[in-house]
Amino acid sequence: MDGVIALYMFGAVFLVLLAGYPVAFSLAGTALVFAFAGQWLGSFDFAFLQALPNRLYGIMTNETLVAVPLFVFMGVMLERSRIAENLLETMSALFGGLRGGLGFSVTLVGMLLAASTGIVGATVVTMGLLSLPTMLKRGYDPRLATGTICASGTLGQIIPPSIVLVLLGDVLSSAYQQAQLDQGVFSPKTVSVGDLFAGALLPGLLLVTLYLGYLVLVSIWRPAAMPLPTQAERAGCSGLSALYALLAPLLLILAVLGSILGGLATPTEAASVGAMGATLLAATRRQLRARVMREVVLSTLKVTSMVFMILIGASVFSLVFRGFGGDILIEDLLMQLPGGTFGAVLVVMLVMFLLGFVLDFIEITFVVVPIVGPILLAMGLDPVWLGIMIAINLQTSFLTPPFGFALFYLRGVAPKEISTADIYRGVIPFIVIQLAALGLLALWPSLATWLPEQIYPG
């Protein structure tokens, strides 16, 4: 009976969220209401909440999570200092003479921004403001244009250094150790954020390749959807100007990601290098003004506060959920599913996909993964593979109509002549590509596990 109360609590949280209350306070408030009611009814032991101070102290002293504000600062600085705009202009000029060249540019710049910012909403909005009017002006099919921007913008979910992977890596590390301790392994192996970064590289590049391949096919089969630029629209780009626009951001990405993968720095140390590098890059391009710095700092503060408040609320929710025996109930349900491990993974991925319609990746990472992660990892799944599967799954969910977050971000900045139906239809081919990539990763887990094994042997 207690486990059923935990499921009721889960349902109550969704109702509170749908009513429009903030996520962090919804999680903590609902959990505390159920905890007090359970104590009064004799079905909840308040001793579970005595672990909360230790949980909060663990969050405060977690060095890995320090990377979050630093990566946010890096991404916002690159966005506000117009470096993203310069990147798009340069790539458009490089591919300007090709049919569909602007679409290729948007995809490649989306990949670079994903590796620079790791913030999905910021990337979709930036690409929508900068490239959508130009694509429409040049006669691109509105559905193709909006689909390309939405799909490219969500690459920040999977291409490192991604905030999603930082948070997911921290949660999966705890889940992996718990799974091993539950199995009687008292010297547990660990999984790091660097492992997830390495594991995400090949699947991320695979997605970019599939996107570009789709655009090439469209340019062949439906040339009218991607017209050739007129002579007046063809912009030239000297090698020197392209080098100036691309070299510094690429060096910054290589410095951050290379130092992590090479074992020269922790994700937190590399994030500090990225934050300082983005600031120096803005200064060298004369974009580092007091107004820009103020906007960057305020935006970083808001995003970081949101992340940590949700993490605290999720910690309260998790403790109360376990106090009602919800973790045992979920474990029993997954163990009894037909198909064994495959059936359990399939159901969890489907539930996360549906949750992605109403919850952001932060809530899913902090609330759902700690519950199901230890159970799935105890079944013998590789934590890196599971983490990348979750990341791509959520990326697909954020693209899927009618509730995908990326669609709402683009709808907010798209011109009025672009209908919501155009955006929905435009993303469907990219959703198919995402599902194909998810299927390939399920069939060949080595896509995610091979590179970490080469970089971090043993």
Task: Report pLDDT digits (tens) over 202-253.
Answer: 999 999 999 999 999 998 998 888 887 766 555 555 556 666 777 777 888 8
- Distance, in Å, from the CA atom of 113 to the CA atom of 63, rounded to the nearest integer, reads 25
C-alpha distance from residue 135 to each of 92, 140, 156, 187, 272 (Å): 11, 5, 22, 56, 36
Burial of 451 (0-12, 13-18, 19+ CB in 10 A): buried
Q: Which two tokens stand for residue 74?
A: 């890096």
Burial of 277 by CB count in 10 Å (0-12 exposed, 13-18 middle, 19+ buried)?
A: buried
Half-sphere exposure of 31 (CA within 13 A, CB side): 25
Q: Which residues fall within 8 angstroms of residue 454, CB to CB, at 6 or more apart?
A: none
Measured between alpha carbons, how far is 298 from 261 in angstroms, rounded to an integer?
A: 30
Domain spans of the chain, in order of start: 2-455
Residue 169 burial (10 A CB sphere; 0-12, 13-18, 19+) = buried
Q: Check residue 202 and give its pLDDT.
A: 93
What is residue 120's predicted lDDT score, i.e. its pLDDT?
Answer: 62
Place of tokens 């099919």: 141
Q: What is the dihedral of CA 28, 405, 386, 215, to 10 degrees?
A: -170
For residue 284 the two structure tokens come to: 């060298």
Angle between helices 67-80 and 163-182 (to 10 degrees): 160
Is residue 313 classed as helix, strand or coil in its secondary structure?
helix
With CA atoms as reference, report the closest residue to 276 among 294, 256, 306, 299.
256
**C-alpha distances in angstroms, 33 versus 77, 87, 219, 312?**
41, 50, 57, 16
Looking at residue 418, its pLDDT comes to 86
Evaluate the omega torsion of the peptide bond into residue 402 and state whether it is cis, within 30 degrees of 0.
yes
User: What pLDDT score does 438 carry?
Assistant: 93
Burial class, 338, CB count within 10 angstroms (exposed 0-12 / middle 13-18 / buried 19+): exposed
Tokens in use for 22? 């903030």
pLDDT score for 274 = 87
Residue with tokens 């594991």: 199
- Which tens digit of pLDDT belongs to each residue from 386-407? 999 999 998 888 888 877 778 8
Predicted local confidence at residue 135, as pLDDT = 84
Q: What is the pLDDT of residue 361?
A: 79
Segments in the chain below pLDDT 50: none
What's the pLDDT at 117? 60
Q: Residues 12, 15, 17, CA angle at the centre, nearest 5°?
A: 110
Q: Is the dihedral of CA 357, 360, 361, 365 positive or negative?
A: negative
pLDDT at residue 236, as a whole number: 58
Looking at residue 105, its pLDDT comes to 84
Output DSSP code: residue 456: S
Return d(Cα 384, Cα 116) in angstroms, integer.
22
